[in-house]
Each structure stands twice: as structure tokens, then as C-alpha cells.
Amino acid sequence: MREVGVDKVNLAAKLGRFEQLWAPRIVGELNGQHVKLAKIKGAFDWHRHEREDELFLVVRGRFRMELRERSIELDEGEMLIVPRGVEHRPVADEECHILLFEPASTVNTGDLRNARTIEHPEWI
């Protein structure tokens, strides 16, 4: 009955609140899952998530998801679910804005830990 806290999220407005690349921000939580927004450009690191399936939805621009055996081009209004265990690497030639949907436990670099690892993403 938490009606008081129910409020809408405007994706473009939230995206206007940060510039940092490869640093997902949390914009919602439900059923143990987080909704995140991220700005990406260039190539990320190859990684996989052992226990989490991950959804990517393009809000603005385009990027390609490289898998080990092929790549998938994603345009605005297209989404991809990368199942747990599957190695992947997002690559964007131009800046691209994406919505992520994944368990709250998900770390952006998966099984990898490096300078781009963000253990506790910021809420915006």
C-alpha cells in the first residue's frame, strides 16, 4: 500500500542528470530487480554474469553487442537479453543511451574487476 512513494520516471530527464560513460545509474527497483540507465561509447570489457540474465534496451542511438561467435546490432527501440553465463561486450561507435534491467545484485563488469567496476551504482 505504498501509494505515497509511487512516482513516474522520465527517462530523458534522468539521462540529463549525468554524463559519465559506462557508469549505470539506478532509476527503479522492483521484485529484486533494478532498472538502470547508462551512457556508453567505445568498447567495454569482455565479461559474463554467472547468475544474472541482463536486458539491454536502446533509448537513444545504437550499439552492437559482441558475443564470442557473432555480433548483434541494436537500434533505438530494440532490446536484447543476454543470458547468464554468456560472454559479451557492448561496443558503441557513437554515444548511446541504454536502459538495463537486471537483478539488484548485478555488477557492471560481471566476473571481472577493474577500474570500470562499479559495485554500488548511484540512485538518481
Residue ranges in contact with a second copy by CB under 8 A: 1-3, 5-12, 28-31, 33, 35, 52-55, 59, 67-70, 72, 74-75, 77-83, 85-86, 101-103
Residue linked to cell 505504498: 2
Residue 115 CB, shortest distance to a second copy, in Å, is 27
Residue 73 CB, shortest distance to a second copy, in Å, is 8
d(CA 119, CA 96): 22
Region of 19 (left: φ > 0; alpha: ψ -120 to 50; beta: rest) is alpha
Residue 96 CB, shortest distance to a second copy, in Å, is 14
Cβ closer to a second copy: 26 or 115?
A: 26
Burial call 43-59: b when 16+ CB within 10 Å, e when fewer: ebeebbbeebebebbbb
Cβ closer to a second copy: 57 or 109?
A: 57
